[in-house]
Amino acid sequence: MIDIRPFSSLGAADHGWLDARHHFSFANYHDPERVHWGALRVWNDDTIAPKGGFPLHPHSDMEIVTYVREGAITHRDSLGNEGRTEAGDVQVMSAGTGIRHSEYNLDDEDTRLFQIWIVPDERGGEPGWGARPFPKADRAGQFVTLASGMAGDQDALPIRANARVLGATLKAGESVTYATDPARHAYLVPATGRVKIDGAEVNARDGAAITDLASFTIEAVEDSELVLVDAA
């Protein structure tokens, strides 16, 4: 099954400094058909205005992955961590028993990012944060695992969930096949470009919810940058 969710159908909230689109129910947006996809609970498509951001606020019992598409985001938290994550890079926060953090766009241009929340396998645990660069050249024509709690993904940022977050870049005409378990839940969003998934067309910032398939093939109609979550 491949369920295409057009960008125009997503939840929306414009706070001035934040223009947010919600693939799943979030804050004041609720759609009973789009509450979660397996362990994937949130996929927000955020545009943060210059000097804007999220003031200090708490989280617990959630794995939060931030994929920066354009610009940069600066993170500070109650553990003393501080870091700037730039376009193409990824940061992960394991909220565990509780953590407070802020995220700001300190630059003079918009920051555009995907923020992805995944329900952990177990509640609690020590909170933590980490970030690292993932050069787009390394993802050319193939998926690279960016964050994972699955065996064999030692080069990825760690999360505490039976899930992985992957990225790929495809030139127009290129294709890549992803193998998974039919019982799992995959969710793919092109950050840029346009692709076909087993023939179903997906435009930039649309979502594609995929399950009951052992594998699927993504063909780039245009040069495309892809983000994929594979969750239990």
CATH code at position 181:
2.60.120.10
pTM: 0.97
Neighbours of 192 (CB within 10 A): 14
Domain enclosing residue 48, as ranges: 2-231
The answer to whether 224 touches 169, Cβ cutoff 8 Å, is yes
Q: How do strand 157-158 and strand 144-148 relate by DSSP bridges?
A: parallel
**Confidence category of residue 121, pLDDT binned at 50, 70, 90:** very high
Confidence of residue 22 (pLDDT cuts 50, 70, 90): very high
pLDDT for the residue 51: 97
Confidence (pLDDT) at 211: 98
| CB hemisphere CA count around 57 (13 angstroms) | 5
Question: What mean pLDDT is predicted for residues 131-157?
Answer: 95
What is the per-residue pLDDT for 70? 98
Report the chain's mean pLDDT, rounded to a whole number: 97
Express each pLDDT in 59-117 by its tens digit.
999 999 999 999 999 999 999 999 999 999 999 999 999 999 999 999 999 999 999 99
In percent, the amount of the chain with pLDDT more than 90 equals 99
Domain count within the chain: 1
